[in-house]
Amino acid sequence: MKILFATNNLHKLEEVQAIIGNQFDIQTLEEVGLYEDIPETGDTFEANAKQKSDYLVDKLNMDCFADDSGLEIDALHGEPGVYSARYSGSRDMEKNIELVLQKMEGITDRSARFRTVISLQLDAQNYFFEGAIEGTIINSKVGTKGFGYDPIFIPNGYDKTFAEMSADEKNSISHRAIAVKKLAEFLSETKKS
Ligand code: ITT
């Protein structure tokens, strides 16, 4: 089965492809010739994920799924949250991380989570799949792997950041892996019936 992943984020694409393996054939926006920003103006991950998948269905009339995700920090009342990609006003992750670390200076409650919501549009129906992983925000960046806020996030039960983990290790526990496995299970079941 072929299914389009509505993302311009190549790190997400790589992770989802690795998690899904050869169960499904993930089609990319490049493969369908769509080179444009997909609007996301909602104030929840769910609304944004749906907006992205709806946009693609309207545009291409193809079944697809979208991932909206981000980092929620308790002491910052859930920020950066849906603003994760542009927290400092731009997509520059150096600046976004710097702003988070600056806001977290002197704060002892370091608890946070990564959250992913996937919106699937299949046969004109909409389905959601969610994943979250709890952890803590450290004081400075550690590690060079992964992407986004990975260098400042240590998942609970581990002593290293996502950015110090191999792709396989991150993909075995991440918020995205939890959501994508639910999506894959649903697609397998739906395909059978
Ligand atoms: P698309 O909308 O095209 O999928 P995007 O990067 O704009 O790509 P989001 O709006 O969902 O995606 O923004 C999510 C941001 O949250 C992302 O740019 C990262 O900064 C951060 N993020 C999401 N998942 C992450 C992960 O697994 N590790 C680290 N940071 C992550």
Residue 148 annotated as part of some ligand binding site: yes
DSSP 135: E
The CATH number assigned to the domain holding 55 equals 3.90.950.10
The CA 76 to ligand 1 mean position distance, Å, reads: 18
ipTM exceeds 0.95: yes
Is residue 52 scored above 60 in pLDDT? Answer: yes
Q: Which strands form 2-5's sheet, in the order they lie side by side?
A: 25-27, 2-5, 64-73, 111-122, 125-137, 153-155
Catalytic residue among 63, 67, 68, 109: 68
Average pLDDT over residues 129-151: 98
Q: How confident is the model at residue 142 (pLDDT cuts 50, 70, 90)?
A: very high
Residue closest by Cα to atom 17 of ligand 1: 85
Mapping DSSP onto H, E and C, the string for 12-28 reads: HHHHHHHHHCCCCEEEC
Per the annotation, the verdict on 68 as an active-site residue is yes
Q: What is the mean pLDDT of residues 74-95?
A: 98
Amino acid occupying residue 12: K
Q: How far is the CA of 192 from the centre of ligand 1 (A)?
A: 32
> At residue 100, does pLDDT exceed 80?
yes
pLDDT at 192: 61
Distance 115 CA to ligand 1 centre (A): 10
Q: For 109-127, how does the pLDDT look when each residue is reduced to its tens digit (9 = 90+)?
A: 999 999 999 999 999 999 9
- Domain range for 13: 2-192
Q: Categorize the per-residue pLDDT at 1 as very low, low, confident or very high, splitting at 50, 70 and 90.
A: confident
Q: Does pTM surpass 0.90?
A: yes
Question: How far is residue 188's CA from residue 190's CA, in Å, rounded to a whole number?
Answer: 6
Residue 101: what pLDDT?
Answer: 98
The share of the chain scoring above pLDDT 90, in percent, equals: 93
Q: Give residue ranges with CB within 6 A of ligand 1.
A: 7-9, 12, 38, 40, 52, 67-70, 84-85, 114, 146-150, 162, 174, 176
DSSP, res 130: E
Number of domains forming the structure of the chain? 1
